[in-house]
Amino acid sequence: GGARYKDPRQPLNRRIEDLLARMTLAEKIGQMSQIERENATADVVRGYFVGSVLSGGGSVPAPQAPAEAWVEMVNEMQRAAMSTRLGIPMLYGIDAVHGHGNVYKATVFPHNVGLGCTRDPELVKKIGAATALEVRATGIPYVFAPCVAVCRDPRWGRCYESYSEDPRVVQQMTSSIIPGLQGEIPANGRRGAPFVAGQRNVAACSKHYVGDGGTTRGINENNTAASFHELLGVHMPPYYSAVIQGVSTVMVSFSSWNGVKMHANHFLVTDFLKNRLRFRGFVISDWRGLDKMTSPEHDDYITSVKLGILAAIDMVMIPYTYTEFIDDLTALVRNGTIPMSRIDDAVRRILRVKFTMGLFEDPYGDPSLAGELGKPEHRELAREAVRRSLVLLKNGKPGQKPLLPLPKKAGRILVAGSHADNLGYQCGGWTITWQGLGGNNLTAGTTILNGIKRAVQDHGTEVVYSESPDAGFVQRNKGRFDYAVVVVGEPPYAESFGDNLNLTIPEPGPSVIRVVCGGGIRCAVVLVSGRPLAVEPYVGAVDALVAAWLPGTEGEGVSDVLFGDYGFTGKLARTWFRSVEQLPMNVGDARYDPLFPFGFGLGLETQ
Ligand SMILES: OC[C@@H]1[C@@H](O)[C@H](O)[C@@H](O)c2nc(-c3ccccc3)cn21
């Protein structure tokens, strides 16, 4: 029969060693190369023995491509990989960070900032499982998720990708989402080794190692100044959890620790993660992480390749200059700068993941899973997650009865604000495109406004929607509205585009709050944002204030709770500052004077 490595009954290490022994240097370096799908033709995948392909944010086979088109694209690349001499399957990866956000009509779950407020690990595990099914529906077996950053400063553009400022909350969610995505390690199974249960699960990637959420003033990709003790106490704990849960891969951070780029950090990647924590999966770079080691970028690429590979990155998200990467790494091995033992360690780790997840046995996407994409059960789960993520910050002015839960039976109500009827805004970044979009045509979902309309539709209540009502309108009509719901917040953003030093509510939000809430109509303000914003100036004027974070496609989860079908159970997983001058300010700090403290969240009197 065929070669030993092709026999799934052989012990894992026998398969790895048998295959490794057969591989040429070109085939080994090919396995370490991840390229972007735009340049992944069959000839390139085959000719360079490419081991992995990715979709960058928003990189899709076609606009609004259905699941079938994704499966066909992935399978075409896979056929090329399987046609190589040794037939090593390629691994396709994508950022499914709040559901399969790149894919049209996928279920978009709340971003991590909201999930942290649920404090519900079982819910998060189910979200992982549902996400895995929707990713597999497109023929993809690997996701660059979860982000396990411990965001310590909301000025960071990626703070919404972090479950919490508290490492224990991040650990709790990490320990749930990973078995959700990858499947649970059996009771008698080996913990701490890469694990993927089967073809309805995906390989996961805990990112970005390490300290990505601790940079100075939250400046993305910048420096995290911290003692080793602080790094271990604040930013490292989620990686203990991730390794124990059998995470298959770890992505290195663009950021630096005390001035040393993480992509060149041998002590943290090799000595600590691989040797101390005994991580046995593979370490992957971030996008052009080697190029970005220098300033200017790509300044001395071969040296960056040397430093990155020796630090012990195993797979490089190149993603375009693959010939240069392959040539440079080949030269570095040939001239003895990089020992073959380092290459073999990288390839062993990559093969361990591919064998463990059954990629050799099942290299192709399963078209029968297409129905999993955006299916009702997943949307119901997402709707429940939205409900559980909402945090009630204020309900009723002093001496007045609470405004929430809103009565469904009311003569006429006003819904206002930029985020009331905007599916793209409520999804945030990493949705359909890298940066996210505005409007209601980007994918399938329900806006907060439509959720409100559905909630009151059988109660004879008239809903008047005005995105930005002017003072005159309010004055002329103030006696005619029983109450108003004002939905405002941040537009979508991703990565450095979200870095923000003032954290004010972007206009026209404040104006709409002033005009409506200051105009004599009782108002509930719903804030759609990736993080706490400066709200102190408005709190007094509003009757109720709800943090909705970035809820995703299932906007009915917001109206479910506004109208009391469900109670408010969310608890802040991030300190809500009074002013940005206080930042960074986290639970446990000596100086702690928040507007709303970590763990805060009101319930409904009627709960
Ligand atoms: O999408 C792949 C990875 C993702 O997993 C990482 O979390 C994230 O840091 C990231 N930034 C880019 C990226 C950044 C700038 C331009 C183009 C792409 C690509 N990626």
**Apex 434 CA angle, 429 and 439, nearest 5:** 60
With vertex at residue 156, the alpha carbon angle to CA 155 and CA 157, rounded to the nearest 5 degrees, is 110
Residue type, 374: G
In angstroms, the Cα distances linking 2 to 18, 352, 489 are 12, 19, 60
Residues, the chain, total? 607
Judge if the beta carbon of residue 194 lies within 6 A of ligand 1: no
Residue 128 CA to ligand 1 center (angstroms) comes to 21
Q: Whose CA is nearest to atom 15 of ligand 1?
A: 287
Handedness of CA 35, 40, 46, 48 (dihedral sign): negative
End-to-end CA distance of the chain: 66
CA of 287 to the centre of ligand 1 (A): 5
Q: Quick check: bond before 469 cis, omega within 30?
A: no
CA atoms within 13 A on the CB side of 34: 28
Contact assessment for residue 460 and residue 393, using Cβ atoms and an 8 Å cutoff: no
Does the beta carbon of 287 lie inside 6 Å of ligand 1? Answer: yes
Q: What is the pLDDT of residue 294?
A: 97
Q: What is the ipTM of this complex?
A: 0.99
CA separation for the pair 420, 423 (Å, rounded)? 9
pLDDT band at 1 (very low <50, low <70, confident <90, very high): low
Which of 205, 286, 435, 497 best tests ligand 1's pocket when mutated (most atoms within 8 Å of CB)? 286
Nearest CA to ligand 1 atom 13: 287
pLDDT for residue 583 is more than 70 = yes
pLDDT at 530: 99
Q: What is the token pair recorded at 253?
A: 């951070």
Q: 207: Cβ below 6 Å to ligand 1?
A: yes
- Token duo for residue 95: 């950022």
Q: Determine the distance separating the centroid of ligand 1 and the alpha carbon of 56, expressed in angstroms.
A: 6
For residue 286 and ligand 1, the question of a CB distance below 6 A is answered with: yes
Regarding the beta carbon of 209 and ligand 1, being less than 6 Å apart is answered no
What separation in Å is there between the alpha carbon of 384 and the centre of ligand 1? 29
* Average model confidence (pLDDT) across the chain: 97
Distance in angstroms (rounded) separating the CA atoms of residues 392 and 153: 22
Atom 19 (ligand 1) nearest CA: 287
pLDDT digits (tens, 9 = 90+) for 92-122: 999 999 999 999 999 999 999 999 999 999 9
**Nearest protein Cα to ligand 1, atom 9:** 286
pLDDT of residue 606: 63
Q: What is the pTM of this model?
A: 0.98
The rounded Å distance from CA 400 to ligand 1 centre is 49
Alpha-carbon distance of 442 to 449, in angstroms, equals: 17
- Amino acid 486 reads V
DSSP assignment, residue 297?
T
Task: Calculate how far, in angstroms, residue 307's C-alpha sits from the geometric centre of ligand 1.
Answer: 21
Per the CB < 8 A criterion, the answer to whether 161 and 147 are in contact is: yes
Which of 59, 158, 284, 495, when mutated, tests ligand 1's pocket best, judged by the most ligand atoms within 8 Å of its CB?
Answer: 495
How many whole angstroms from 286 Cα to the centroid of ligand 1? 6
pLDDT number for residue 178: 98
- 13-31 average pLDDT score: 98
Q: Residues 594, 577: contact at Cβ < 8 Å?
A: yes
Q: Which of 275, 274, 291 is nearest to 283 (CA)?
A: 274
DSSP assignment string, 497-548:
GG--SS-BPPTTHHHHHHHHHTTT--EEEEEE-SS--B-HHHHTT-SEEEE-
Ligand 1 pocket check for 95: Cβ under 6 Å = yes
User: Is 128:179 a contact under the CB 8 Å cutoff?
Assistant: yes
- Predicted confidence (pLDDT) at residue 336 exceeds the cutoff of 70: yes
Q: What is the 3-state secondary structure (H, E, C) of 65-115?
A: CCHHHHHHHHHHHHHHHHCCCCCCCCEEEECCCCCCCCCCCCCCCCCHHHH
Q: Is 57 in the pocket of ligand 1 (CB under 6 A)?
A: yes
Burial (0-12, 13-18, 19+ Cβ within 10 Å), 376: exposed
pLDDT band at 478 (very low <50, low <70, confident <90, very high): confident
Each residue of 520-557: pLDDT tens digit?
A: 899 999 999 999 999 999 999 999 999 999 999 999 99
325 CA distance to ligand 1 centroid (A)? Answer: 18
Cβ of 384 less than 6 Å from ligand 1: no
Can you tell me the mean pLDDT for 370-386?
98
Is residue 112 a contact partner of residue 160, using CB atoms and an 8 Å limit? yes
Per-residue pLDDT reduced to its tens digit, 156-177: 999 999 999 999 999 999 999 9
CA-to-CA dists, residue 504 to 35, 251, 433, 546, angstroms = 39, 32, 25, 16
Name the closest-CA residue to atom 11, ligand 1: 287
d(C-alpha 445, C-alpha 450), whole Å: 10
144 pocket-lining for ligand 1 (C-beta < 6 Å): yes
Q: What is the model's pLDDT at position 245?
A: 98
How far is ligand 1, taken at its centre, from the CA of residue 500, in Å? 19
> What integer pLDDT is reported at residue 605 of this predicted model?
77
By alpha-carbon position, which residue is closest to atom 6 of ligand 1?
286
> CA neighbours within 13 Å on the CB side: how many for 4?
13
Three-state DSSP state, 42? helix
Yes or no: say if 211 and 158 are a contact pair by the CB < 8 Å rule.
no
89 cis-preceded (ω within 30 degrees of 0): no
The minimum-distance atom of ligand 1 relative to the CA of 57 is 1
Residue nearest to atom 5 of ligand 1 (CA): 144
- pLDDT tens, position by position, 505-519: 999 999 999 999 998
Sheet containing 483-489: order of strands? 391-395, 544-547, 523-528, 483-489, 412-416, 462-466
Interval 351-370: pLDDT, tens: 999 999 999 999 999 999 99
Cα–ligand 1 centroid distance for 571 (angstroms): 30
Ligand 1 nearest atom to the CA of residue 93, by list position = 2
Residue nearest to atom 10 of ligand 1 (CA): 287
CB 425 within 8 A of CB 491: yes
Residues assigned a catalytic role: 286, 495
Q: Residues 223-282: pLDDT tens digits?
A: 999 999 999 999 999 999 999 999 999 999 999 999 999 999 999 999 999 999 999 999
pLDDT for position 279? 98
* Distance from C-alpha of 43 to C-alpha of 467, rounded to nearest angstrom: 51
Residue 607 has a pLDDT of 57
